[in-house]
Structure 1
Amino acid sequence: MSTPNESYDLARRRVIAKTIYKGVVGLWLLLAVLQIVIWYFTTPGGYFWPVWPILGTLAAAVIAGIPVYAGRPAVSDRRIEEELARMRRAG
């Protein structure tokens, strides 16, 4: 069972992760619109090339969002403890 401080820290980390993720999705949308605008003004009616970078970055955004919204942290406490131990050993 976790203490109130641990619960607060976990909730805080989740809120931060979700906020950052929403920014990533917003950036993805902005870049998608920018690519469509570039396509429209350079090759209107031509091959719709923006579909490929848009789909690629969409896949990356979805994959990045899975740990954020799955309720499991992207970085486990075990990995954090291992890194702390390495830092202590290094001096």
Structure 2
Amino acid sequence: MSEDLRDIARKRLKAKRDFWGLVSTFVVITIVLNVIWFLSGYRDYYWPAWPMLGFTIATFFNGINAFGPGSRPITDEAIDREIRKLNGEK
């Protein structure tokens, strides 16, 4: 059981580390896109908003995966509770 917990902990830590790496990449890409937009002189239309929107959506779902309720391990107590519900018990 100890090895299972180590694997779960390792996966959770990796997901959290990947999330913060994605946030760092998002910041760098956002800065680069805004510099390109600013230097292009075409300021009537803010086109960096579109790739930033896509990246924001991806980062949001990555954050839910890393920190959301699905990131917690399933406990034996939760399994027993679900079995009781399936058997019609409270």
The normalised TM-score by structure 1 is: 0.68
Cα distance between partner residues in 2 of 1:67 and 1:17:
7
- Equivalent of residue 62 in structure 1, options 52, 60, 63: 60
Select 1:23's aligned residue among 1, 21, 24.
21
Residue deviations 1:42-66 (CA, integer Å, cap 9, x gap) = 0254321111111111111111221
Tell me, in whole angstroms, the C-alpha distance in 1 between the residues paired with 2:63 and 2:35. 26
TM-score by length of 2: 0.69
Give the corresponding residue for 1:83. none
Unaligned residue ranges in structure 2 (runs of 5+): 72-90
Distance between the aligned counterparts of 1:30 and 1:17, measured in 2?
A: 20
Instruction: Please list every run of 5 or more consecutive structure 1 residues that lacks an aligned counterpart in the other structure.
Output: 74-91
1:50 paired to 2:45: no
Paired-residue identity, %: 30
- How many equivalent residue pairs? 71
Question: 2:44 is paired with a residue of what secondary structure?
Answer: coil
4+ aligned runs moved over 4 Å, structure 1:
none
